[in-house]
Amino acid sequence: MNWQKTKKIVGNIGSTFLYIFLAVILFNVVTSKMAGEPPSIFGYQMKAVLSGSMEPGIKTGSIILIKNTDAGDQFAKGDVITFITEEKILVTHRIVEVQDGGSHFITKGDNNNGPDLEPVHVNNIVGKYTDITIPYVGYIFKITESQLGGALLLFLPGILLVGYGLLSIWRTIRIAESYKNAEAETPNK
């Protein structure tokens, strides 16, 4: 088998796996939105970081991957956790001190001058940062949380698919017409 055929087969297999992966993620996000829950894949969640409190390690506008917490999870000084505040705001900060045998934590943003005012109770921890960050995608992710963004998330892939289908049909018709014109111009023997 020559190199071009091998390259094409590998490319097709890679594209197929990528499309399947994206379809699974899209399905998960859509079903999570319909259920009113945050998107979660295999026990991991994507969270948008929209403040600079964790820079330079986590840039503003990034998406981070966090591992969902389970009862009995242990956290230590230096862990980066995502927790929910009393005001129902999600925050991602680093643990700087463990208190009360691991039931409360003092946290601080890496870019902040001092620690957070309120200790975090272990039950308010949503997840632990996995050191996976995708820069700048958080802005797009945040837009999808609005009603208009959610609608775009549902309808945009369909519109793109219809557009791609129409483009494919137009190309096929154009190729058929050029083939027909080439036959018409070729004299019969």
Quick one: which of 136, 124, 135 has its CA closest to 92?
124
Distance from C-alpha of 48 to C-alpha of 129, rounded to nearest angstrom: 12
Query: Is 50 in contact with 61 (CB distance < 8 Å)?
Result: yes
Distance from C-alpha of 107 to C-alpha of 2, rounded to nearest angstrom: 58
Long-range interactions of 104-108: CB distance < 8 A, separation 24+: 105/75, 105/81, 107/81, 107/83
Q: Which of 51, 53, 103, 178 is catalytic?
A: 51
Question: Could you confirm whether 40 is annotated as catalytic?
Answer: no
For residue 30, which phi and psi values (nearest 5 degrees)? -65, -45
Direct distance between the N- and C-terminal alpha carbons of the chain, in angstroms, rounded to an integer: 38
Q: Cα torsion at 111, 112, 113, 118 (round to 10°)?
A: -150
Residues marked as catalytic: 51
